[in-house]
Every structure is written in structure tokens, then in C-alpha cells.
Amino acid sequence: MEKSRSQLIEEILGYKYREFKTGLTFTEVRRYLSQEQSRRTRYNDYMFVTRKTVLGRWHQIKKQMFSATGIEKYIKKMSYKELFIISKNII
């Protein structure tokens, strides 16, 4: 069964997103959140910083950075044939 254009786009973007690296470490994201926590404490708005909080913020950062690359717009402009060739090369 042949995949639709939208399925190919989703498959390629999923692969590209998994391969995308932020260049940040857990410690760097934790340090950033600690700074945010101290700023919020001044306004009596306490923020718990746990491992889950750090991983969640890291995910937000990764989504924003991936979006900023513009690869999603680039891939969506490709023809079906180009998408098909790319999908064959990543599998």
C-alpha cells in the first residue's frame, strides 16, 4: 500500500525531530530553571524544579529550536516524489 503525502511528511518530520539535538545538557537546563526559580521567588511565586520539570522545559526548548530551523516548511513544499525518495533513504 502506498503512503499518502501527509503520511510521508509526518514520517520524515518525526525522523528529523528525533535526530535533532539541542546542544544543551541536563545540567544547563537545570541551571536555567534554577535562575527562573529564584526570579519567581522574589514575587512569592514558588516553582518546584524536579527532574520532570527539567525534562519538560528541555522538550519545550527542543520544539522551539526545531521549529526555528524551518525544516517543516521546507519539507511541506516538496513534491510527492521527493518525499518518497527521502523516506526510502531514512528507513
Cα separation, 49 vs 62, in Å, equals 19
What integer pLDDT is reported at residue 65 of this predicted model? Answer: 94
User: In the chain, pLDDT over 90 holds for what percent of residues?
Assistant: 70
Query: For residue 37, which of 23, 22, 57 has the smallest C-alpha distance?
Result: 57
* pLDDT > 80? residue 77: yes
The pLDDT tens digits for 52-75 are 999 999 999 999 999 999 999 999
Q: Is the pTM of this model over 0.85?
A: no
- Please name the amino acid found at residue 27: T
Answer whether 47's CB lies under 8 Å from 30's CB.
no
